[in-house]
A = this chain, B = another copy of it.
């Protein structure tokens, strides 16, 4: 049974049922927030050991350097070793920074605009137009960076195995197209995983711009939700093999591993790219917070330590994702309304509602105290051309609150769908 095959009377019945359900929500006085991919307090508790680390008298790194003082621009060696392995980049080509990989992406664009990349004919700011390919749905903060810097965004469809390569291939013949955003593993919000073949083509394809960059934001590299622990494609190795070592810039962080606000971020790439970044970084700071890096190194110990911690996150998160998908299935499934992802990792469920109703659904939800990310947020300029996509962030609320919120959201989806069907 789908909405399409129903009579007006049947749809009217649904409309009345959902209107009644919505009235109940209006009286419930909810205050639930599904807007951002924030870890819950229970997840943060997993890293509480950090609150007393590095510990009394502990301030020397493995090389014996006093981490309390200035210096060490590229960050603590032993922490770069751990995340270099996760990123598949030699530790010498990894920078450990402050608490936000977004800041490294921001500054990469700033340096490119004001100075140019190592292989740029001129600073990007001196180009008439700079364009970026933006697989959609995608991460709103990537798009906000482009908008901040006047970089024109070109959406391409993101399939479950990566961006639509036919579209990408056509776009990179334009020398003004200087880059592409990629969240290779468990993309925000669709959970898409860029497969090896597509990664290889991204690394190897001819681009008209000599300084084309893949902004490889591996924010969810180790954030599995199933036993199938997806291994991210080795983009730097692929790029070197195809003669484009400077093409990928890799980003990662512990924001959703340890403390969201007090983690460590990482950037990796070719020696030339890393030297370029450090040369500009040296004007901005004398070095990162090495004590926080030491704290993380003592807490995580090694790659196995990271995976062990992520297993504990998974134990908290997998049931929450299950609540989302099973609630959507039981509430929307019978009507054949909407479709949603069942991701193998990451922080989001991507929900597609009937075209033209996403904005209405989010407003309906907001009015009964269920805060959702604005419809369209996963698209450049906030513009979802189909008004279809809603990003659900299930991590922060308690399971009980989450169940109430998704049930309420489903009511809003059905109500908006019925409204639309009756209006047509």
> Which A residues lie at the B interface, using CB under 8 A?
36, 38-39, 41, 44, 47-48, 50-52, 54-59, 66-72, 98-100, 102-103, 106-107, 110, 113-114, 125, 141, 144-145, 148-149, 255, 259-262, 280, 283-292
> Inside 8 A of A48's CB, which chain B residues have their CB?
56-57, 59
> Inside 8 A of A284's CB, which chain B residues have their CB?
100, 102-103, 106-107
A373 CB to nearest chain B CB (Å)? 14
> In whole angstroms, how far apart are the Cα atoms of A291 and B290 in the complex?
15
> In whole angstroms, how far apart are the Cα atoms of A98 and B99 in the complex?
9
Contact A261–B51 (Cβ < 8 Å): no
> Inside 8 A of A261's CB, which chain B residues have their CB?
67-72, 286-291
> In whole angstroms, how far apart are the Cα atoms of A107 and B281 in the complex?
11
Indicate which residue in B44, B99, B280, B285 contacts A66 across the interface (CB closer than 8 Å).
B44
7 tightest A-B CB contacts, nearest first: A262-B291, A106-B284, A68-B259, A100-B285, A44-B68, A148-B283, A70-B260
Indicate which residue in B36, B41, B114, B292 contacts A289 across the interface (CB closer than 8 Å).
B292
Given contact pairs A70-B261, A100-B284, a sample of 12 additional A-B residue pairs in the complex whose CB atoms are under 8 Å apart: A44-B69, A51-B55, A51-B291, A52-B55, A52-B56, A67-B261, A68-B260, A68-B262, A69-B260, A102-B284, A106-B284, A113-B114
> In whole angstroms, how far apart are the Cα atoms of A144 and B100 in the complex?
25
- Whether A283 contacts B57 in the complex (CB less than 8 A), given A70-B260, A261-B68, comes out as no
Contact A51–B44 (Cβ < 8 Å): no
Contact B51–A51 (Cβ < 8 Å): no
> Inside 8 A of A285's CB, which chain B residues have their CB?
99-100, 102-103, 106
- Whether A57 contacts B51 in the complex (CB less than 8 A), given A99-B285, A261-B290, A283-B144, comes out as yes
Kindly report which residue of chain B lies nearest to residue A102, judged by CB atoms. Answer: B285
Kindly report which residue of chain B lies nearest to residue A106, judged by CB atoms. Answer: B284
> Inside 8 A of A114's CB, which chain B residues have their CB?
110, 113-114, 125, 149
Q: How many copies does the complex hold?
A: 2
> Inside 8 A of A291's CB, which chain B residues have their CB?
50-51, 259, 261-262
> In whole angstroms, how far apart are the Cα atoms of A69 and B45 in the complex?
11
> In whole angstroms, how far apart are the Cα atoms of A149 and B283 in the complex?
10
> Inside 8 A of A71's CB, which chain B residues have their CB?
261
A141 CB to nearest chain B CB (Å)? 8
A258 CB to nearest chain B CB (Å)? 9
Kindly report which residue of chain B lies nearest to residue A36, judged by CB atoms. Answer: B70
> In whole angstroms, how far apart are the Cα atoms of A260 and B145 in the complex?
31
> In whole angstroms, how far apart are the Cα atoms of A51 and B114 in the complex?
38
Kindly report which residue of chain B lies nearest to residue A145, judged by CB atoms. Answer: B283
Contact B51–A59 (Cβ < 8 Å): yes
Q: Can you list 27 A-B contacts with CB-CB less than 8 angstroms, sorted by A residue number?
A: A36-B70, A38-B69, A41-B66, A44-B68, A44-B69, A48-B56, A48-B57, A51-B55, A51-B291, A52-B55, A68-B260, A68-B262, A69-B260, A69-B261, A70-B261, A99-B285, A99-B289, A100-B284, A102-B286, A107-B284, A110-B110, A114-B125, A145-B283, A261-B288, A261-B290, A262-B290, A292-B292
> Inside 8 A of A288's CB, which chain B residues have their CB?
99, 261
> Inside 8 A of A36's CB, which chain B residues have their CB?
70
> In whole angstroms, how far apart are the Cα atoms of A283 and B424 in the complex?
41
- Whether A148 contacts B280 in the complex (CB less than 8 A), given A69-B261, A260-B69, comes out as yes
A263 CB to nearest chain B CB (Å)? 9
